[in-house]
Amino acid sequence: MKLISAFVFLLLIGFSEFQLVKYKNYIVIKAFPNSTRELKILNSLRSSLKNLVDFWSSPTHTLTPIIFSVNPSSRRHVLRFLKQQNLNATVLTNNLQEWIDREARYVKSRLQAFAGRDESINFETYHPYEMIETILKSQTAKFSAKVIYSTIGKTYENRNIYAMVIDENPNESKPVVMLECGIHAREWVSPATCLWISNQLLKNSSESELLQKFSFHIIPVANPDGYVYSWRTNRMWRKNRVPNDFFGFCRGVDLNRNFGTNFCKTGASPISCDNSYCGKKAFSEKESQAIRDHVLSIKKSKLKAFFSVHSFSQFWMYPYGYKDDLAQNHEQYNTLSKLAVDAIRKVHEEQYQYGSISKIIYKASGNTIDWLQENNLSEVSFAIELRDKGYYGFFLPPHLIRPTAEEFWAGVKAVIQNI
């Protein structure tokens, strides 16, 4: 596959040395809460320091590593507090910016090495949005008999939101499997995983049987503006980039809180500067509208399985997120999830936990899969947190993209072959 030249490519993307938002001397802490008392301590730290700490995973379970970064101004206070509370915590780095720079240098060198080569997509690196567009177009040109792509919406910054439809006999009306990746900008392994799966479906003849049975709809980057911003300006960005006020002081809506089920009630913030800001109203955002409209364009009862792909923590989750009640087809979810995590473990020995969102992580209203479940739009829908369990967090090294995608794909197949 011919990729764009290194020169054009370097003009297109930015790297951390040009990024406006720096994380110099931000520390990253891994805490390991042993009791509910310690979970409470972490939650109180989170609410009292608000924008001075950024929890990459939520303190909801004991014996699960919790990673968070701390603004340099609060660093001494936080470390002293954790020590006083006798909480098991390790400083992973004293300078988050070093992680960002190291990743940028590595990604840059891999992309330069592969630029212009006429070969498969390089899964040993992450790809910027412009390059994903190029890959998508060249895959479509090369495998035109079984893939088409369409623009399902435009973002606030006028970028395209793409969906690929991969199907060996597109004229037959087959059950649909949908994957939504990259709705949270900084979770880079998610779009990389969607790309790997599309490549697998197109190139690997052993997947042909699946393509006879299902039509795969893949949204590789559900939040293009946020993704681009996480490459060019702020590596830790999560939301989209819509201005929330006249001056654009606080930007962005958490798209996975903007869907129309129990909108902004639990586990979502009405405050526009917050990372989990739900937006002004349900489906206020172009990205959530695009996903909604694409789902609604599929013939009723044809959508069999939907996968919302996130990172990190290694969780395989199902509805509900907004309430503790079990889904009506809870037993089906339980059976399919067990099959999925068993299949995952067989690939690279990785363990994923499974259960409903509200049980596994936290209550979160307005998420994609609750909306699908509540409106009977898909037979089953899952939200997956890919690797890892909190060692690298959002900075999953590129050599782990392939194993992460391979095991996730095994989980997806275990589900769709048993619906």
- Residues with active-site annotation: 385
Task: Report which residue's Cβ sits closest to Zn ion.
Answer: 310
Q: Please, is 98 exposed, middle or buried when counting C-beta atoms within 10 Å of its C-beta (0-12, 13-18, 19+)?
A: middle
Query: Which one, 41 or 360, has the nearer CB to Zn ion?
Result: 360
User: Whole-number minimum distance, CB 316 to Zn ion, in Å?
Assistant: 14
Query: Which one, 159 or 310, has the nearer CB to Zn ion?
Result: 310
Q: How many residues does the chain have?
A: 419
Of the ranges 58-66, 182-190, 226-234, 282-290, which one interacts with Zn ion (CB under 5 A)?
182-190
- The secondary structure element, H or E, covering residue 246 is none
User: Whole-number minimum distance, CB 161 to Zn ion, in Å?
Assistant: 17
Binding mask 87-106 for Zn ion (x = CB under 5 A): --------------------
Query: Which one, 184 or 235, has the nearer CB to Zn ion?
Result: 184
Closest by CA to 370, choosing from 318, 415, 326, is 318
Pairing of strands 303-311, 380-386: parallel
Of the ranges 48-56, 125-133, 176-184, 337-345, which one interacts with Zn ion (CB under 5 A)?
176-184
Cα-based torsion angle of the residue sequence 297, 298, 303, 308 in order, rounded to the nearest 10 degrees: -30
Of the ranges 181-189, 212-220, 241-249, 313-321, which one interacts with Zn ion (CB under 5 A)?
181-189
User: Whole-number minimum distance, CB 17 to Zn ion, in Å?
Assistant: 27
Query: Which one, 58 or 215, has the nearer CB to Zn ion?
Result: 58
Query: Which one, 3 or 195, has the nearer CB to Zn ion?
Result: 195
Of residues 294-313, those binding Zn ion (CB under 5 A)? 310
User: Whole-number minimum distance, CB 347 to Zn ion, in Å?
Assistant: 22
| Cis, peptide link before residue 315, omega less than 30° from 0 | no
Dihedral of alpha carbons 135, 185, 114, 204, sign:
negative
Of residues 183-202, those binding Zn ion (CB under 5 A)? 184
Of the ranges 160-168, 178-186, 324-332, 368-376, which one interacts with Zn ion (CB under 5 A)?
178-186
* Interface with Zn ion: number of residues (CB under 5 A): 2
User: Whole-number minimum distance, CB 371 to Zn ion, in Å?
Assistant: 16
Sorted by sequence, the CB contacts under 8 Å of residue 227 that are 6+ apart come out as: 129, 182, 185, 191, 221
Binding mask 252-291 for Zn ion (x = CB under 5 A): ----------------------------------------
Closest by CA to 366, choosing from 301, 325, 320, 315, is 320
Q: Could you give the CA distance from residue 75 to residue 357 in angstroms, rounded to a whole number?
A: 31
Q: Which amino acid is at 417?
A: Q
Token pair recorded at residue 277: 């800001």
Q: Is 363 in the site for Zn ion (CB under 5 A)?
A: no
Beta carbons of 186 and 223 less than 8 angstroms apart:
no
Of the ranges 68-76, 128-136, 162-170, 179-187, which one interacts with Zn ion (CB under 5 A)?
179-187
Token pair recorded at residue 63: 């014996």
Q: Could you give the CA distance from residue 92 to residue 319 in angstroms, rounded to a whole number?
A: 33
Q: Could you give the CA distance from residue 25 to residue 357 in angstroms, rounded to a whole number?
A: 33
Applying CB under 5 A, the residues found at the interface with Zn ion are 184, 310
